[in-house]
Structure 1
Amino acid sequence: MDSQVLVALSLSMVGGLSTSLGALFVILAKAPNLKMLGLLQGFAAGLMLSISFFDLAHNAINSIGFLKGNLWFFGGVIFFAIIANFIPEPSLAPTADSKSKKKHGDEGGKDVMKKHRRQVLFSGIITAVGISLHNFPEGMAVFLGSLKGLRVGLNLALAIALHNIPEGVAVALPVYFATQSKWQAFKLATVSGLAEPLGVIIVAYLFPSSLDPEILEGLLGAVGGVMAFLTLHEMLPLAFDYAGQKQAVKAVFFGMAFMSASLYFLEISLPADVGL
């Protein structure tokens, strides 16, 4: 069993660290302007919504039934809606830049940009948390796949690796914009990917035979609710502010389509009795 766990850990590291590859694309490129940031925030919001509705909530409803799946999902929504009331968050649209500069000169403009950066950083942290929670069951799937054989585990790890690259971009981009630190952007994207090998460790050692599938699916459905709430509450308003409503909506649907295609190709690479 220990050798199988080591193989699964190695394979899950391949998938998990591909978020670092996505981060490299961000930190090696030129820093985006506000409009480009808004479009990419919209794209990231689409990724998150697709994961929430078409993956986590969908699987929960199929596994434990429509009523229970929805109760778990909206339980996650309500839980984080309550938490959000206690989180201080700056809210300032880019259109305030010119007004602030006229009133207060350069110092006012700098204050506005600081608030922008703080707001963007908050959205990046939200994305990192959401993607970490999403990567966790992927680690479990890699472990279960690797039990069937190296070829199955390797194919699954490679599919997840390709699937995780845009997730690394979604995490690193707002962090890099907000902090101007390549290291911080790379670090947070990498940490979000490390949830995958953590999933292997937990399913292998803490739940070797007593993992309740219904509770697990319900919790993942609740994670979907949390991600959906945070995406609509935090990321989408930023995308609207920076890129404009029409362009941001297009970016959201592009992100949803991209992640849906990714989830499809990931699903067909799985054995019939190993699911995410």
Structure 2
Amino acid sequence: MEWSNIYLAFGLTLFAGLATSIGGGIAFFAKRTNTTFLSYSLGFSAGVMIYISFTEILGEANLIIGTYFSESTSAWLTFMFFIAGVAITALIDKMVPTHENPHEIRSLEQMDNGRPCPGRKLLRVGVFTAVVITIHNFPEGIATFMAAVSDITIGVSIALAIAIHNIPEGIAVSVPVYYATGSRKKAFWWATLSGLSEPVGALFGYFILSLFSSNIVLGYVFAIVAGIMIYISFDALLPAAHQYGKHHTTIYGLISGIIVIGISLMLI
């Protein structure tokens, strides 16, 4: 593990998290949502994360665990911790109320057509929304940080994929805050604030690595991270991409993401 990558890993996680501010800022500069571009981009992000999870992170996890156990045992342990990552993320996602789940896509047109709701207080709406997004984005911060600490090239790829995913999440935060306050500026700042949950996830990842610095723990963590990324790809990225655009647009983005990241990793 390259501990010299830690600062850069934190920086990448912060970059990915603050991409929600781009979604919030779109309200200032755009009047319509480019659904085709978003659909392709989200599909592309899913392709990147799925490919990296199965070919790089999960393989690295099995390799590390295999130095301590037999081939059969290491394969089972890798699989079990991978499923644990999926289950943990699913549990966190289950904690998010359905009507406030950030996977619920909202567009700029909804902001323009909606009316502010004076009966809903900014503090109540803003704090609740921030808590919801924090819960949802926390494992993404862990995944980005852990990947970057292990391999900075993979970390950059994941950070970019998460950043693309966080742009529509920023819109999802902006819309209810705008409904509550009528202020686009406040909607932008709440969207920005919601992204800070990912650096918090990175801090948690750093704490785990500091507390359990043995390679076997790192192998378990990598398998869990792969599970987190796969769940995010299939539960958040692909459904959102499909909802934004046509089915084929999503598939083209998915395949493009796999091809681009595959070639990139082979050339580096």
- Name the TM-score, length of structure 1 as normaliser: 0.58
Per-residue deviation, residues 51-90 of structure 1 (Å, max 9, x unmatched): 4223322211222232221122123334444565554435
The 1-side partners of 2:50 and 2:91 are apart by 20
Name the structure 2 match of 1:137. 146
Question: Using a 3 Å threshold, how does the CA distance of structure 1 residues 254 and 83 change in structure 2: closer, same or farther?
Answer: same
Name the structure 1 match of 2:46. 45
Contact 2:35 2:245 in 1 (8 A): yes
Name the structure 2 match of 1:150. none
- Aligned runs of 1:109-148 on 2, under 5 Å? 128-138=137-147, 140-141=149-150
Contact 1:34 1:243 in 2 (8 A): yes
- Aligned runs of 1:73-84 on 2, under 5 Å? 73-81=82-90, 84=93
Name the structure 2 match of 1:177. 171
Question: Using a 3 Å threshold, how does the CA distance of structure 1 residues 81 and 221 change in structure 2: closer, same or farther?
Answer: same
244, 247, 251: which one pairs with 1:245? 247
Q: How many pairs were matched up?
A: 221
Question: Using a 3 Å threshold, how does the CA distance of structure 1 residues 126 and 55 change in structure 2: closer, same or farther?
Answer: farther
Question: Using a 3 Å threshold, how does the CA distance of structure 1 residues 44 and 258 change in structure 2: closer, same or farther?
Answer: same
Contact 1:50 1:256 in 2 (8 A): yes
| Aligned-pair CA distance for 1:170 | 1.9
Question: Using a 3 Å threshold, how does the CA distance of structure 1 residues 35 and 131 change in structure 2: closer, same or farther?
Answer: same
Secondary structure of 1:252's aligned partner: helix
Question: Using a 3 Å threshold, how does the CA distance of structure 1 residues 39 and 8 change in structure 2: closer, same or farther?
Answer: closer
Secondary structure of 2:98's aligned partner: coil
Query: Are residues 1:54 and 2:55 paired?
Result: yes
Higher mean alpha-carbon deviation, 128-137 vs 244-253, is at 128-137
| Aligned-pair CA distance for 1:173 | 0.9
Q: Percent identity?
A: 19
Contact 1:73 1:223 in 2 (8 A): yes
The 1-side partners of 2:104 and 2:91 are apart by 24
| Aligned-pair CA distance for 1:247 | 1.2
Structure 2: tracts of 5 or more residues without a match:
66-73, 106-112, 115-129, 175-186
Contact 2:144 2:155 in 1 (8 A): no
Question: Using a 3 Å threshold, how does the CA distance of structure 1 residues 12 and 86 change in structure 2: closer, same or farther?
Answer: closer
Name the structure 1 match of 2:198. 192
Name the structure 2 match of 1:89. 98
77, 80, 90: which one pairs with 1:68? 77
Contact 1:23 1:168 in 2 (8 A): no
- Aligned runs of 1:6-21 on 2, under 5 Å? 10-19=7-16
Contact 1:23 1:189 in 2 (8 A): yes
Query: Are residues 1:36 and 2:24 paired?
Result: no
Contact 1:39 1:251 in 2 (8 A): yes
Higher mean alpha-carbon deviation, 40-49 vs 18-27, is at 18-27
The 2-side partners of 1:81 and 1:190 are apart by 21
Question: Using a 3 Å threshold, how does the CA distance of structure 1 residues 132 and 16 change in structure 2: closer, same or farther?
Answer: closer
Per-residue deviation, residues 206-250 of structure 1 (Å, max 9, x unmatched): 34xx62322321132122113312321233222222212111111
The 1-side partners of 2:261 and 2:154 are apart by 12
Name the structure 1 match of 2:160. 166
Higher mean alpha-carbon deviation, 182-191 vs 229-238, is at 182-191
- Aligned runs of 1:99-114 on 2, under 5 Å? none
> What letter corresponds to residue 169 of structure 2 in structure 1?
V
The 2-side partners of 1:166 and 1:73 are apart by 22
Question: Using a 3 Å threshold, how does the CA distance of structure 1 residues 45 and 200 change in structure 2: closer, same or farther?
Answer: same
